């Protein structure tokens, strides 16, 4: 099957939401995923409408085959989690830097029109100034954050040096349907929903007053697609992708308790190494240069997420 879009990590949380949106729009989509952290069931009901390639971005020949004939590469494949990278820095480096470089080289050689790179707000580290702006000096505090920054710098280099238009999107605490709650490295929202649903003690690492700029996955999907139509002079630089609000973990727990009809008394544990205290985005550059605008508020997104998880136990 000839494909217009290649989505790496298309079986994962963000990737599968991108794939489903593209398929719903009638686009021809190829997915490259080794399913180490993604799940085939995330795209199982649409697999007959896509070209699925079971493979690893660390394998040069697999990547070269995957990019053949595509116009746009949406690169969501990664070994996620700050905590995991602290425990496994070599694996994080191998997948997130070497794998990304493989993809950039293959995209350049195949004359791909654009490559969109999924980066992370973790590159900012614990800089005290809020909101975070793209012109602030990065201060990564974990191997994961460092690998995401390295991927951004490689993407920019390939734009400047080889003329491959690249767009790096710094996501801020993305949440929504199909996010895995079962791993020890799971993001906080699916883990909290799963914990409350099963009546288990809800653990917060730290004092619960740390804040995050939670971003519903549909807004991340739309940012990826905006990069495929944005002016070419917008390429080569990173963009924050977030609503622009700060929500504390204690506030998150209160809203979840209300949505799920649960009385919640969190258990507090010591903060984890590498975690960022506060996070909030200034996304004005993405709005001005990419034509992107967030559409789904925190509480609306949380309600949709809770409904999805409760209907997909």
> Where in the chain are the domains?
5-172+216-243+282-294
For residue 185, the model assigns a pLDDT of: 63
Q: Which residues of the chain have pLDDT under 70?
A: 184-185
- The pLDDT score that the predictor gives to residue 312 is 87
Nearest by Cα to 108 from 57, 157, 53, 58: 157
Tell me the three state secondary structure of residue 142.
Answer: coil
State how far the Cα of 32 lies from the Cα of 5, in Å rounded to an integer.
11
Burial (Cβ within 10 Å: 0-12, 13-18, ≥19) of residue 252:
buried
Q: What is the pLDDT of residue 300?
A: 97
Tell me which residues are annotated as active site. 144
What's the pLDDT at 313?
Answer: 73
Residue 184 is predicted with a pLDDT of 65
The CA–CA distances, whole Å, from 121 to 4, 64, 173, 255 equal 29, 29, 8, 24
CATH 3.40.50.720 fits 5-172+216-243+282-294, yes or no: yes
Q: Which of 26, 216, 241, 2 is nearest to 117 (CA)?
A: 241
The count of other CB atoms within 10 Å of the CB of residue 287 is: 16
CA distance 101 to 150: 10
Can the peptide bond before residue 131 be classed as cis, meaning omega within 30 degrees of 0?
yes
Whether pTM > 0.75 for this model: the answer is yes
């Amino acid at each position: 099957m000839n494909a217009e879009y290649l989505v790496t990590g298309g079986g994962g949380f963000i990737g599968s939401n991108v794939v489903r949106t593209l398929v719903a729009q009638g686009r021809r989509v190829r997915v490259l995923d080794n399913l180490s952290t993604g799940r085939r069931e995330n795209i199982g009901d649409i697999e007959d409408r896509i070209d699925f390639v079971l493979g690893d971005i660390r394998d040069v020949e697999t990547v070269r085959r995957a990019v053949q004939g595509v116009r746009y590469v949406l690169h969501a494949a990664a070994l996620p989690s700050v905590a995991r990278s602290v425990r496994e820095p070599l694996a994080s480096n191998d997948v997130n830097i070497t794998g990304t470089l493989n993809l950039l080289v293959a995209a350049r050689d195949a004359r791909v029109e654009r490559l969109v790179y999924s980066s992370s707000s973790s590159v900012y580290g614990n800089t005290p100034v809020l909101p975070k702006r793209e012109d602030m000096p990065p201060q990564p505090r974990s191997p994961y954050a460092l690998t995401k920054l390295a991927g951004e710098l490689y993407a920019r280099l390939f734009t400047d040096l080889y003329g491959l238009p690249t767009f790096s999107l710094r996501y801020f605490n993305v949440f929504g349907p199909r996010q895995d709650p079962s791993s020890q490295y799971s993001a906080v929202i699916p883990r909290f929903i799963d914990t409350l649903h099963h009546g288990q003690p809800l653990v917060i690492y730290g004092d619960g007053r740390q804040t995050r700029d939670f971003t519903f996955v549909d807004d991340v999907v739309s940012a990826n697609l905006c990069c495929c139509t944005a002016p070419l002079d917008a390429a080569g630089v990173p963009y924050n992708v977030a609503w622009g609000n700060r929500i504390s973990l204690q506030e998150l727990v209160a809203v979840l308790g209300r949505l799920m009809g649960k009385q919640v008394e969190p258990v507090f544990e010591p903060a984890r190494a590498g975690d960022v205290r506060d996070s909030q985005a200034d996304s004005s550059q993405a709005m001005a240069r990419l034509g992107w605008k967030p559409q789904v508020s925190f509480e609306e997104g949380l309600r949709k997420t809770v409904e999805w998880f409760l209907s997909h136990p």
